[in-house]
Amino acid sequence: MDLAKKILKTNFASLQVLQYVHDFGSFSVAAERLGLTQSTVSYTIARLRSIFKDPLFAREGNRVVPTQRCRVIVGHISGLLAEFEGLTSEPDFNPAAAEGAITISCNHYERMTILPEFIPKIRKQAPNLRLRFMTSSALGEDQLKRGECDLLIGPVQLSGDHIFKRHLLSDAYVYVMDADNPLASRPLDLDEIRSAHHLVVQFSGGWQPLYIDALKSHGLSLSPMVELSDYGDIAAYLKGSDLIACMPRRLASTLEPALLCVEVPIPVPLEIDLFWTTRTHHSKLHNWVRQTLAESI
């Protein structure tokens, strides 16, 4: 019996259990998200193992990892489940009546430049909708594919049959420094950047700001005097010091006026995109949230 016929013999609820265990890597988390007991989830997976004649999952540490066969099956059913959800949802969506929770993964840049407009819009139009935010660092793609978040925002490149993307904004890097820094009086050249005292943000997870590679392509490797793990307190360290820091223009505009921005001699574009998967693609609630987020730029 081929895969399509096997799916037709299985109800949607069982397939949804399979997808949730696949996405979250946990029987208990899948049970919690679906409002089921863990024994119900275990029984359902056991029945699906019999139908598909495959173990479907193997335990590795605290997680269950899908087999290759399971990944193929979920690849087939994820779009089907999303379309079914769209067919069975209310024809007219009313944000004021919306309930539930939306989880968004992003970093400091998005929290400072997008969320201050987005959150008040949601609170005003959908007061019963809960918002959860998590830090993506360099793990955003895994968080999205595992179903730990519904939306991912950031300057990343994702692709795949089950990944959807919407462009949100374009930005560029600038150098920020104290107004009394001698370098603040004119445009910087590469020699001045090479000799300057740098403050560099080195994000956890190994992701580096895009300007680092741009400078390296021009033969310039930085030896920072100060390294931070995020942009959070950067203004306090630049003010009154000889340090300079390269950061996105929109983020720099949120800092205090005592700091000045100077153009980077090498153009370094920064593209911020929104990503989601087939799991939420047809949901009217999620579609409205995505649209509201795009309108918050």
- Please write the tens of the pLDDT for every residue from 3-18: 556 555 667 788 889 9
Whether residue 205 is predicted with pLDDT greater than 70 in this model: the reply is: no
Whether residue 75 is predicted with pLDDT greater than 80 in this model: the reply is: no
Mean pLDDT, range 91-107, rounded to an integer: 89
Work out whether the CA dihedral 198, 204, 205, 207 comes out positive or negative: negative
- What does the mean pLDDT of the chain come to? 88
Give CA–CA dist 248/82, Å, rounded.
Answer: 36
Place of tokens 């029987």: 27
For the beta carbon of residue 66, count every other beta carbon within 10 angstroms: 20
| 170-184 exposure pattern, b = at least 16 Cβ within 10 A, e = fewer | ebebbbbbbeebebb
Work out whether the CA dihedral 273, 73, 10, 38 comes out positive or negative: negative
pLDDT band at 283 (very low <50, low <70, confident <90, very high): confident
Contacts of 124 (CB under 8 A, 6+ apart): none
Q: Which two tokens stand for residue 185?
A: 């009086």
- Please write the tens of the pLDDT for every residue from 118-156: 999 999 999 999 999 999 987 899 888 877 899 999 999
Q: Which two tokens stand for residue 62?
A: 């605290």
Instruction: Specify the higher pLDDT residue, 262 or 74.
Output: 262
Contact 87, 12 (CB under 8 A): no
Share above pLDDT 90 across residues of the chain, in percent, rounded to a whole number: 52
